[in-house]
Amino acid sequence: MPSPIDPAERLLNLLIALVNTHGRMTKEQVRASVAGYADAPSDEAFERMFERDKDTLRDLGIPLVTVTDAGHGDDIGYRIDLDAYALPAIDLTAAELGVLTLAAQTWQDRTMRGDTARALTKLRAVGQGPGATDLVAGLAPRVRSGGAVFAPLLDAAQARQVVRLTYRAASTGEVRERRVEPWQLIARRGGWVLLGWDQDRQATRSFRLSRIEGSIKTVGEPGAFPAPSPEQVEQAMAAWREGPARIATLAVLPERAEATRVRAIEAPPGAPDWSQDPVVGPLVVGRDVVHVAFRNAWELAEELVGYGDAVLVLDPPDVRGRVLDLLERAAALDAVLDRAPVDDAEVLEVERG
């Protein structure tokens, strides 16, 4: 025996039927032809179900209208007013389409890449020609994939369900299991961060998705904790930003690392002239010396390592050391892949940085 259809699916089926009907649909036609209404055990149950769904459609702003037969006043049908329901024509300027293109380029996670690409293709069809992206040429922000843990964490945050995850701490490298109430996923410095309540530590915490090892396991039932208040989210953000403000000095190749360049600040008082340094001087030839503010050394290092040799860290030493460590680990992984047989390489799972 088939399982009952979910109310949300039944509501969507009703909307599709009413949009595509020729003229109108009576209640009898809805019950006989729209999937989900045959589940009603009685006429009274169907009436309650149908009335509830009609109210929901109207609450959603969908123009559901009642149509009465001209010859029989008690013969009532329903349809969607397509003129009121249809969106107005979209008229995008070159600048608007350029900004949308830039936004679509931000989403590189495979779970969203297809949807954004299809949406952008449709919008380009009503834009102002191939030059519509010229205003944002050269700008290419990226948010790295959240990996296999992104979708489960997003689902758990929406369902308010506790998760169990294994996390590698940035400061100590310690790997331990955490029980977390997931609040929000935010994009930060090219990567994803989970904000939530650490049940073991009884405190707000942030977790870089790139540091989560293994899979996400849900614990208990959905709705296990209330949605966080704005104050709680701000507290989690503040805890994540903790640490004194510091300044890093970078040597950047021209027209590279634009996302880092836009945060550049003036050189701090007493900053050395690196071009005169006998060791560093030859390395900065042809590069721009850029100063950026930061708080977490590991966060800045994970951002900079993605630019490869386009960015050299001149100062401070702890950021430079973390970048070198990440590069050495990546090089070691490449060596493992180069030595592995073809069949092994296809199944070898690695985390790059």
According to the model, what pLDDT value does residue 348 have? 34
Q: How far does Cα 24 stand from its chain's mean position?
A: 41
Position 272 in a domain? yes
Position 29 in a domain? yes
According to the model, what pLDDT value does residue 349 have? 38
Residues 228 and 303 placed together within one structural domain of the fold = no
* Region of residue 270 (phi > 0: left; psi between -120 and 50: alpha; otherwise: beta): left
The burial class, CB within 10 Å (0-12 / 13-18 / 19+), for 165 is buried
Question: Using CA atoms, how far apart are residues 286 and 182, in angstroms rounded to an integer?
Answer: 46
Residues 76 and 120 placed together within one structural domain of the fold = no
Position 111 in a domain? yes
Domain hosting residue 128, numbered range: 94-136
Position 142 in a domain? no
SS3 content of the chain, % helix, strand, coil (to 5): 45, 20, 30
Of 5, 8, 86, which is closest to residue 53 (Cα–Cα)? 8
CATH code where residue 38 lies: 1.10.10
Position 342 in a domain? no
Report which DSSP code applies to 143: B
Position 124 in a domain? yes
Would the pTM count as exceeding 0.85? no
Residues 107 and 183 placed together within one structural domain of the fold = no
Question: Using CA atoms, how far apart are residues 261 and 296, in angstroms rounded to an integer?
Answer: 18
Position 297 in a domain? yes
Question: Using CA atoms, how far apart are residues 68 and 16, in angstroms rounded to an integer?
Answer: 21
Q: Please give the chain's pLDDT, 353 residues, in tens.
A: 456 788 888 999 999 999 888 888 999 999 999 999 988 889 999 999 999 999 999 998 899 999 887 665 567 899 998 888 876 766 767 667 666 766 665 555 555 566 666 665 665 555 554 444 444 444 445 555 667 898 899 999 999 999 999 998 766 678 899 999 999 988 766 578 899 999 988 988 888 888 899 999 999 999 999 988 888 888 777 766 656 788 999 999 998 888 888 889 998 888 888 888 888 888 889 999 999 998 878 778 888 888 888 999 999 999 998 888 888 877 776 665 555 554 444 333 333 33
Residues 106 and 182 placed together within one structural domain of the fold = no
| Phi, psi of 262, deg, nearest 5 | -65, -15
Residues 107 and 125 placed together within one structural domain of the fold = yes
Residues 177 and 202 placed together within one structural domain of the fold = yes
Of 105, 136, 167, at which residue does a domain stop? 136
CATH code where residue 163 lies: 2.30.30
Residues 253 and 329 placed together within one structural domain of the fold = yes
Residues 152 and 226 placed together within one structural domain of the fold = yes
Q: How far does Cα 331 stand from its chain's mean position?
A: 29
- What's the chain's Rg over C-alpha atoms? 28
Per the structure, the count of domains in the chain is 4
Position 59 in a domain? yes
Residues 81 and 100 placed together within one structural domain of the fold = no
- Please report the sign of the dihedral spanned by the C-alpha atoms of residue 182, residue 187, residue 192, residue 198: negative
Residues 178 and 223 placed together within one structural domain of the fold = yes
According to the model, what pLDDT value does residue 103 have? 65
The burial class, CB within 10 Å (0-12 / 13-18 / 19+), for 94 is middle
